Amino acid sequence: MPELRCEAVRWVNHEHFPGLVEVQFVDAAGRRWSLIDKSAIFTQLDELTPDSVYPVNVTVACVIQTAARSWPTTRS
């Protein structure tokens, strides 16, 4: 399954179990997006806690529904 590289940027709250974390990524057009979900969604380990030093590199499993065009894998 493809994974989207993101950065966990902050701990949102711990009222839920596990706590909520905000992650961000930048799309191909340069727009920044945020996702907020349970910390376990973004890591298999207990790496994301209120005491973690942010930002933390994480990934999000995703499903590609359509591809508008092919993007080069390297830049020259």
Res. 73 pLDDT band, cuts 50 70 90: low
Mean pLDDT (whole number) for 49-73: 83
For residue 43, list its beta bridge partners: none
pTM for this predicted structure: 0.77
Structure confidence by residue, pLDDT tens digits, 26-50: 988 899 999 999 888 888 777 888 9
Q: Which residue has the tokens 């994974």?
A: 3
Residue 21 contacts residue 36 (beta carbons within 8 Å): yes
Mean pLDDT (whole number) for 53-76: 78
Distance CA 23, CA 39 (A): 10
